[in-house]
Amino acid sequence: MTLTITPEALREVALTQSEYDQIVELLGRAPTAVELGMFGAMWSEHCGYKNSRPLLKHFPTSGSRVLQGPGENAGAVDIGDGLAVVFKIESHNHPSAVEPYEGAATGVGGIVRDIFTMGARPVALLNSLRFGPLDRQRNQYLFGGVVGGIGGYGNCLGIPTVGGDIYFDEKYNGNPLVNAMCVGIVEHDKIMRAKASGIGNLVVLVGADTGRDGIHGATFASVENPEESHRGVVQVGNPFLEKLLLEACLEALEIEGVVAMQDLGAAGLTSSIVECASKGEVGIEIDVQRVSRRESGMSAYEVMLSESQERMLIIVTEEALPELRAIFERWDLHSDVIGTVTDDGNVRILDGGEIVANVPASLYTDECPVYIREGIESAAIVEARERDLSDVTDLASDAIGDTLLRLLASHNICSREPVVRTYDHTIMSNTVTPPLDADAAVVRVKGTNKAIAIKTDCNPRYVYLDPHLGGQHAVAEAARNVSCTGAEPLALTNCLNFGSPEKPDGYFQLQQAVLGMAEAAEALGTPVISGNVSLYNESGDEAILPTPTVGVVGLIEDVNQRAGMAPTNGSVLILLGTQEATLGASEYLSVVHGLVAGSPPALDLTVEHNVQSLVRSLIGVGLVTAAHDTSEGGLLVALAEMLIASESGATVELQQVLDANAGRLDRTCFGEAASRVIVATSAGNADAVIQRAQQSGVPAVRLGTVGGDALELDVAESVAVTTMKRKWESGLKVGR
């Protein structure tokens, strides 16, 4: 039975005609308006992962520490002492492109709910941001709005924003990326799942009133050219209300009769009810007339698809309801009993006495179409990657200092202090290593001597030029940054930000990046325990740079055995790992020569594993006091960042590294490489560090000694630390 409805009606719910026909066949009838809206939301890429689900199966998801992998609101890993770290990263890209402040703010609110829904108390926030260049007024507006929204919501909520990463490129002009990550702590036996159970148990909607904001938010994020939409799809957040909801929910989870909890995020009531019913293999019946509303005249369709913020769904026994309601009343929050758990497997929606939707929950989830497409790499990208860079003129020694200053002021390298000071990282007094002081944030686990290290990362230029290798780099660099604090990487979460999967080159990027990430995660022992997919990040015909953001969480058993970035006077600087660098895909090549070309640095995952293990062990036994990986900008930029952090100079000899790079000054000073970390140790321990490196099969080069007020190089003129710092701090002030 095939029925045709207008393309406009299908567009509104992000369904194709063939998908609509499939719905009709599954139901044996035409769907009601409410059912069609619910199918559109649940079968959207944002909720149903119909283009990415087959690819996600490549990720390793289990491990000795994994307590909860993908499939719940967030993942959880064991950190000992009966405690678990719960974490996840999610996108709020499309809303932030339309309304940057509220889009970013509600992105923070949504990811926080994912964490405390699991029963964990949120202890840290991070964000991974991508914008177009700040010389455009529109990008300045987006940048200011997003940073303001993140700070405004997180600060009011009372959760420290401890880190993240920012990248600028013209390909983000029409479509900025806003990825928010939250980390929480919970006792093992208090982890809560979103699995409805107990026939006759009550379905309770708690928190804010329901309004018309956010309707079609999930479908809006699952089509090309989101600029065609309007501001009505962007949710409006209230961080003070969310704080009440957080505390009330954590208190409510102490009640024995609470059997499940699910936040209302994308697709609102629709997704929360369907997911709870589907996971529990039960049915749920609700009456939308029982839902508290802040706007009159709302239809059942609007109530079911509203994405109003600060709401949570709780499944509770009838006996426990009075105690539950008392808790939410004490926190001045609604607790509306809107339905019950049933035994027929159907999601049934009533509007008073009228049934407006009645569909088996499995049709929304298990029957969601899956697309396996053919990926074809763009010929233009192949040409750019295979470009011969031997004709790039080498740097003259007298140009090294000016080039270093130019790179330090570039938007992808310069100080993030103007952003960091917008956020409060001191709330809760757990932040041991604040932003900018180390390669990853370090947060104390209260009540123990442990700490966790957290970092988000992704070099999208690497992924653009070689998606498979770039995906590996994203995992390796995030884990490396965590290792540079002394923490053992435990697991990762990711947010896959790509263009349209319906285009062969877009699908190729997604497919190959996932495969590369999966290989790196397996090799480094960091299973993927949660994540999010954000596709259709395009404006007009222009897709973003493929950006598979990775967030890694690591464990420090003794918080006193950690390293920052700043070396002390008299320290010896040693380069561990790869010495040979490449100009391909480098920030130097882009800034100085205006080229996005060449292959990203080679990455041997065994070498990467060995370098990270060595760095952690050296920090753990006290031989290394500071560590910093070399990433964008190469060796000299990494050295400059360490010296700026310590406000000290250094005398550095690069001859051995120069020999490894065929005598090329540009590759030696500013070429990029994987598996490479600069460490600082005392003069008395330098030989021991090098010996341990040799025993681990990791190359080690003594670079020089910290002291003075300038970076003194054997291959170039000196550069004053104050000059480097001034340039580094000037970057994000340009064009603002």
Q: What is the pLDDT of residues 386-421, one digit of tens each?
A: 999 999 999 999 999 999 999 999 999 999 999 999
For residue 638, tell me if it sits in a domain.
yes
- The pLDDT value recorded for residue 129 is 98
Mean pLDDT of the chain: 94
For residues 490 and 505, give the distance between their C-alpha atoms in angstroms, rounded to a whole number.
Answer: 33
For residue 724, tell me if it sits in a domain.
yes
Q: How many domains does the chain have?
A: 1
Task: Identify the helix (H) or strand (E) that includes residue 178.
Answer: strand 177-187
Lookup result for tokens 């970035």: 565
- The pLDDT value recorded for residue 733 is 72
The catalytic site residues sit at: 46, 92
**Pairing state of beta strands 121-131 and 161-168?**
parallel
Q: Which of 177-191, 207-221, 587-601 has the lowest mean pLDDT?
A: 207-221
Range of the domain at 577: 563-736
- The pLDDT value recorded for residue 596 is 97
Per-residue pLDDT, averaged over 213-231, amounts to: 52
Confidence of residue 456 (pLDDT cuts 50, 70, 90): very high
Per-residue pLDDT, averaged over 551-574, amounts to: 98
Give 34: exposed, middle or buried? Use CB within 10 Å, 0-12, 13-18, 19+. Answer: buried
Q: What is the pLDDT of residues 531-555, one digit of tens each?
A: 999 999 998 889 999 999 999 999 9
Per-residue pLDDT, averaged over 178-207, amounts to: 97
For residue 721, tell me if it sits in a domain.
yes
Q: Domain holding 614: CATH number?
A: 3.90.650.10
Q: How many CB atoms lie within 10 A of CB 397?
A: 14
Give 527: exposed, middle or buried? Use CB within 10 Å, 0-12, 13-18, 19+. Answer: buried
For residue 710, tell me if it sits in a domain.
yes
Per-residue pLDDT, averaged over 171-198, amounts to: 96
Confidence of residue 219 (pLDDT cuts 50, 70, 90): very low
Nearest to 674 by CA among 492, 480, 537: 480
- The pLDDT value recorded for residue 3 is 60
pLDDT at 429 exceeding the cut of 90: no
CB within 8 A of 688, min separation 6: which ones?
A: 623, 681
Task: Identify the helix (H) or strand (E) that includes residue 104.
Answer: helix 100-116
- What percent of the chain has pLDDT above 90? 91
pLDDT at 736 exceeding the cut of 80: no
pLDDT at 222 exceeding the cut of 70: no
Contact 350, 273 (CB under 8 A): no
Largest CA distance in the chain: 84
Q: What is the pLDDT of residues 274-311, one digit of tens each?
A: 999 999 999 999 999 999 998 899 999 999 999 999 99
For residue 545, tell me if it sits in a domain.
no
Confidence of residue 152 (pLDDT cuts 50, 70, 90): very high
- The pLDDT value recorded for residue 4 is 66
pTM over 0.75: yes
- The pLDDT value recorded for residue 349 is 98
Residue 174, CA distances (Å) to 147, 233, 506, 540 in order: 17, 18, 17, 8
pLDDT at 212 exceeding the cut of 80: yes
pLDDT at 711 exceeding the cut of 70: yes
CB within 8 A of 274, min separation 6: which ones?
A: 38, 42, 347, 361, 364, 365
Contact 522, 151 (CB under 8 A): no
Per-residue pLDDT, averaged over 182-202, amounts to: 97
Per-residue pLDDT, averaged over 437-453, amounts to: 97
Token couple for 145: 């709005």
- The pLDDT value recorded for residue 224 is 53
For residues 190 and 298, give the distance between their C-alpha atoms in angstroms, rounded to a whole number.
Answer: 37
pLDDT at 567 exceeding the cut of 60: yes
- The pLDDT value recorded for residue 214 is 66
Nearest to 413 by CA among 167, 627, 595, 645: 167
- What percent of the chain has pLDDT above 70? 96
Q: Apex CA 403: angle with CA 397 and CA 405, to 5°?
A: 125
Per-residue pLDDT, averaged over 503-520, amounts to: 98
For residue 94, tell me if it sits in a domain.
no
Q: What is the pLDDT of residues 24-58, one digit of tens each?
A: 999 999 999 999 999 999 999 889 999 999 999 99
Contact 442, 563 (CB under 8 A): no
- Which residues, in sequence order, are bridge partners of residue 36? none
